[in-house]
Structure 1
Amino acid sequence: MRSVFLSTPRRSLLALALASLIVPTVRAQPAGNPASDPATDLDDVVVTATRTAQTIDATLAAVTVITREDIDRRAPASLPDLLRGVPGLTIGANGGPGKVASSFLRGTDSDHVVVLIDGVRAGSATSGGMAFQDLPVEQIERVEIVRGPVSSLYGADAVGGVIQIFTRRPHGPFQATVNIGAGNFDTQRYGAGVSGRSDASGGHGGWYSVHAAHETTGGIDSYRDNPASPWDDFALDPDRDGYRNSSLSLGGGYRFTPAWDVEARALRAEGHNDYDSSWSNESDVVQEILGSRVRYTPSEQVTVTLNAGRSEDTSHNYYDGVFIDRFDTRRDSGSLQGDFGVGQALLSVGFDWREDQVGGTTTYDVEQRINRGLFGQWQQRFGAHALQASLRRDDDTQFGGETTGSVLWGWDFTDALRLTASYGTAYKAPTFNDLYFPGFGNAALSPETSASAELGLRGKHGWGGWSVNAFQTRVDDLIAYDPTPTPTRPFGQPNNIDKARIHGVEVTTETTLAGWSVQANATWLDPRNDSGGFGDDNLLPRRPRLSGRIDVDRSFGAWSVGGSVNGAGERYDDPGNFVRVPGYGTTDVRVGYRFAQAWSVQLNLDNVFDKDYETVAFYPQPGRSWFVSLRYSGQ
């Protein structure tokens, strides 16, 4: 896992425009065009922070990158496990494997983050959340997390930041991968894939990628008795809550000439989840993402990219096998972006279009909305200084227009140190549930708005690197339940009645000590209710004030050894701060052995000391667990 440190070379943004010929510039894939120069190290390039290609060290925003190498080394059980311990990111999980998991980025709400999969916006339009638990890590090539407001580039919901997930890509002319694994809780995982690319040195060439995965687990009992809940007599079911998931990803592209290339990707994941609830206790879920891109690069100074995509989130819910209800949401999207070298600067302008649709057994007063967004961005270096400024205007058919903007500045005041400062605004669009859920929604809701400021210092030295980022965010018009009766809602409704103020500091470092690779980070947060009424100055729910992670790894010839310590302080599970969730610390250990060039075996021991802990009140996390995996990766 790589955090952003100082850029030593003084790269011009015109050079970044040239790099964008290799890496897509609009919600693109870090794999870029695999038909391009195979010597290019695309792990050193990010695209999410600016919607253009730039080196990790050159970014002005706070960015963390998780590569496929990190995933293979850590072998996490799930995507929430992979994201746990990222600076500024907190995970709240409602139980064990496959159970609903929410992310809280820099203390903002779980729906204050944009999630992209291969550039296509994913998630549920009804709830506003993303089903991280249903995306298998075996399908993931890379994850880029941008912390801080990015609405000026991505529109609604990017109050806390953006998480972009990229599916598998080829690494050579031909590669085949197979993995088989088993562990306690009756857990089994299987995966296989093939990929390849042709040499594009002649100006044309193609690539392909196919990966399938399946997992099943008996799980744990994911819910314990809540003595204060009158519904527990109906919801409590002391049995193991299992989960299974099958997924398939496809990708391909072709460069016809040095100026024209196209690509398309698809990912489908189907899951079945058992849980405890008084309304439904099992679900069949589907996550499906389709995306395509056409790019035209007539010169080193000009790149024009057209994207189109669709994401679907479906949930069919049952109680003891009897159908209860169904929720279906679909998002169709398109983008047109142009990047133009202007002297030593890079100008990006673009237009985004998105249509959200909801369906199922619940009838909403409005079941469709369209958003159109127009944005512009300017990036330039001035000697030791770098500037990034962007402005965006969104128009939504439901709640009207919103304007957001951001300015980021960096100063390399020595060869080893960079100072950064930024200010940005963002907004969160009301969900369909907020607006129109029968008997609950409020169609008069306005978007939540925010303003954030940040100051950072980064260092890069011969021994490694470090960073410190201090930030504050104010969120106005937070949507919260208002119990005040209305003529149409005698028991109240959601309203824009809350405010929040969030202060925080993130510290990261990475180095090598006696042959051991060490990565560590810690986050301090003060996320407070600032509404002035009930709960004023209380901590926002499910955000620990302190969290951190340490990873150490080392290779001894064919052997690899590593471990992780992940911890978080206490948090509260309710706005009134009456339900306290204790802090915790867990230790994971991993040992791997490569017994042939293409074959390896790995043992993972998670929560070695069998700690009892929860990230959401009354939903236990797994105790001590083990998993053994056999992996083949060859050409």
Structure 2
Amino acid sequence: MKLSRLALAIALASPAAFAANETPRFDEQLKLPEVVVTASRTAESKGDTYSAVTVFTRDDIERLQPSTVPDLLRRTPGVQVMQNGGRGSTVGVFVRGTKTAQTLVLIDGQRANDTNLGGAPLNTLSVDQIERVEILRGPRSAIYGSDAIGGVIQIFTRRAEGPGLSPRVRVAYGSHDTWEQSLGLSGGNNATRFNLSLNHEQSNGFSRSSLRTGTDADNDGFENSSIALNLNHRFSSQTEAGLNISHTDSEYEYDGFGWSQFPYDEVKNSFYSAYLSHQLTQLWSTRLELGYSEGEMHNLDRAAVTDSFNETERESLNWTNSLSLSDAQRLQVGLDWYRDHIHNSGRYTEDSRYNAAAFLQHSYNGENFGTEVGVRHDDNQQFGTENSWNAAFKLPLNDRHQVTLSYAEGFRAPLLSDLYYPVNCYPGWGCSGGNPDLQPETSRTYELRWTGLVSPQVDIEAAAYRTELEDAINGWPPANLDEARIDGIEVTVSADLLGWQNHLSLSLLNAEDRATGNDLVNRARKTLSWDIDRHFGQFAVGASWSASGRTYFDPANTTVIPGYGLLGLRARWQAHPELEVAVKVDNLLDKAYYTTTNFGVPYQEDGRSAQLAFTWTPSL
């Protein structure tokens, strides 16, 4: 039978109810705001998780109208974003003060971090092809292994709306001659569901260099085409299989700052995954996933015959089992395996490695208290074995408030570029390259979190944490720092006041290199995000305010990047049951700001910009 949203939420929250009903479809679970998948690699009630998690559903994405995935992530407490060029260029994401390579990114369950560069292709993903985004803050290496020191970001591509056919067409035009066009078709029947999305974006861009001289005075354009397909079939009430495919092909320009004339990058990324899930008994469900991904980046120049390139491949296999031991207890048991390959113009001495792992996690959610204990054993081809632990204790103060005390370990294996980048020598600069003597990074995080329902209209979550990093990799050539320490406080308030929906996030951070006492680069000590929205019949209006304190560009803390505050406005009109019109203005006050520099020259961010969009969803 098909569960209603309320019944599905109850089924997920209670193992007994879950066992008594038909296993919910995975695509239906992904549409529920109070369900979380990333915390334990299986769907569970958000209230039962032991980690700080922010969830953006499809409804949230349409309400907030973000232009890119980084625009959406900026609204998350403890998350800071830095972009190294115009739209489409590489993005740095700092979760709870950790660097980009210390946060694991998953796309439909598959690892997306580049084994050579560390980041994931968040810059090329189309928000119109996304069903939901889950941001888990804090280490999760006991479940995911390497890279999950700062947290885990999981992106799920768009899913079917239900039986029948549901087409959609979206066209948007905005500043800098920016066009966005997308086509989508979803549907099926009670057994088979699918969603197909096609998207194209292009923009003339603007000059990111503040020099505005020579070749750096030109606009930095962007173009991206993408396709995403999700297909799943229900063989019976207990057995389901699915397939996910996504591919992006993009090109973006940037300023060379005298090192090159008209540089641009061509980037392609593909992710393929298939899964088979089965409810073996009322108490035991199992899921087998097979994945493959490939990435390709070419660094080019329109005024020269140059081509440095980087190509990566990853094969993966995951087997996860969930056992409901009782109404209050659940056990997660799984095996992980993946192999990374790299091929680039640098010709590394080592170009592949594998990682095999097993993990176990037990959770108990009783009336008087709750506990979670997990452990994972990784066997890495280069670095041998690593054990990661996590433990948490949850104490309900009453039916409205609870506190959670947790401890978690994390680790990250060095990138292949950190280890084996060829040594190059430059006159006047010396020689530099990879460091094959690097050791894996490790971390310990202690956290105290309080969640409370102050009133039926006001929900508050606050967390204080400390992360201690050992052998943190930094600099070039890369080296293991003795220790870094990150202290932070996060406060999130969700409130419905006088018909206005408010979401406020405040983060206070002190990320310090313990050897020097200096701040870690690109980490602001204070960040704030506030979204406010309201419906007036067929109309909806909203505003966003975000602010960030100053950061430092260099480890010596001599180059300061000033703080900034940004205001944005948005509105939507349901002009017809099949037609929605949306408009937004970002950086309304035309604030001049930047988040990073290149040899002391700021990479300017966009000033005031606007967009008008039409979405047509005809009925068939």
Aligned residue among 192, 199, 210 for 1:224: 210
Aligned 8 A contact 1:14 1:345 in 2:
no
Secondary structure in 2 matching 1:43: coil
**In the alignment, does 2:345 pair up with 1:361?**
yes
Unaligned runs of 5+ in 2: 1-8, 424-432
Partner residue in 2 for 1:259: 238
**1:161-560 alignment to 2 at 5 Å?**
161-173=151-163, 174-199=165-190, 205-225=191-211, 237-277=216-256, 278-279=259-260, 281-320=263-302, 322-343=305-326, 344-439=328-423, 440-460=433-453, 461-481=455-475, 493-530=477-514, 532=515, 536-560=516-540
The share of aligned pairs that are identical, in percent, is: 34
Q: Label 1:233 to 1:513 Cα distance change in 2 as closer, same or farther (>3 A).
A: closer
Aligned residue among 115, 120, 128 for 1:130: 120
Deviations 1:417-451 (A, max 9, x none): 01111000000110010011111112221100000
Aligned 8 A contact 1:89 1:105 in 2:
yes
Unaligned runs of 5+ in 1: 1-6, 25-29, 34-40, 200-204, 226-231, 483-492
- Structure number with greater CO (CA < 8 Å, separation at least 6) is 1
Q: d(CA) in 2 for partners of 1:446 and 1:21?
A: 44
Shift of 1:291: 0.6
Q: Label 1:15 to 1:406 Cα distance change in 2 as closer, same or farther (>3 A).
A: farther
Shift of 1:233: 9.2
Q: d(CA) in 2 for partners of 1:312 and 1:342?
A: 39
Aligned 8 A contact 1:153 1:390 in 2:
yes
Partner residue in 1 for 2:613: 629
Partner residue in 2 for 1:571: 551
Partner residue in 2 for 1:154: 144
Shift of 1:520: 0.6
Deviations 1:242-298 (A, max 9, x none): 000000001101111222211001000110111122257111101111010011112
Q: Would you say how many aligned residue pairs link Structure 1 and Structure 2?
A: 591
Deviations 1:485-523 (A, max 9, x none): xxxxxxxx4222342100000000111111111111100
Comparing 272-281 with 208-217, greater Cα deviation is found at 272-281
Partner residue in 2 for 1:596: 576
TM-score, normalising length: structure 1: 0.90
Aligned 8 A contact 2:566 2:589 in 1:
yes
Deviations 1:294-328 (A, max 9, x none): 11112220111100111222101211163321100
Q: d(CA) in 1 for partners of 2:21 and 2:153?
A: 22
TM-score, normalising length: structure 2: 0.92
Partner residue in 2 for 1:229: none
What letter corresponds to residue 213 of structure 1 in structure 2?
N
Secondary structure in 1 matching 2:76: coil
Secondary structure in 2 matching 1:623: coil
Aligned 8 A contact 1:480 1:494 in 2:
yes
Shift of 1:197: 3.6
**1:43-62 alignment to 2 at 5 Å?**
43-62=33-52
Aligned 8 A contact 1:425 1:452 in 2:
yes
Shift of 1:472: 0.4
Q: d(CA) in 2 for partners of 1:595 and 1:242?
A: 33
Shift of 1:172: 2.1
State the superposition RMSD in angstroms.
Answer: 2.0
Q: d(CA) in 1 for partners of 2:230 and 2:10?
A: 35
Q: d(CA) in 1 for partners of 2:232 and 2:283?
A: 23
What letter corresponds to residue 465 of structure 1 in structure 2?
D
What letter corresponds to residue 625 of structure 1 in structure 2?
S
What letter corresponds to residue 111 of structure 2 in structure 1?
R
What letter corresponds to residue 185 of structure 1 in structure 2?
H
Deviations 1:199-245 (A, max 9, x none): 2xxxxx111110000000011111224xxxxxx999x6111100000
Q: Label 1:561 to 1:503 Cα distance change in 2 as closer, same or farther (>3 A).
A: same
What letter corresponds to residue 409 of structure 2 in structure 1?
T
What letter corresponds to residue 222 of structure 2 in structure 1?
Y
Q: d(CA) in 2 for partners of 1:9 and 1:340?
A: 15
Q: d(CA) in 2 for partners of 1:352 and 1:377?
A: 14
Deviations 1:362-409 (A, max 9, x none): 201011100001100101123221111110000110111111010122
Deviations 1:20-71 (A, max 9, x none): 93265xxxxx6459xxxxxxx6332111011121112222210000111111
Secondary structure in 1 matching 2:128: helix
Secondary structure in 2 matching 1:133: coil
Shift of 1:413: 1.6
Aligned residue among 596, 605, 616 for 1:616: 596
Shift of 1:184: 1.3
Q: d(CA) in 2 for partners of 1:425 and 1:233?
A: 49
Q: d(CA) in 2 for partners of 1:91 and 1:10?
A: 33
Q: d(CA) in 2 for partners of 1:543 and 1:158?
A: 18
Aligned 8 A contact 2:166 2:187 in 1:
yes
Shift of 1:189: 0.4
Aligned 8 A contact 1:20 1:53 in 2:
no
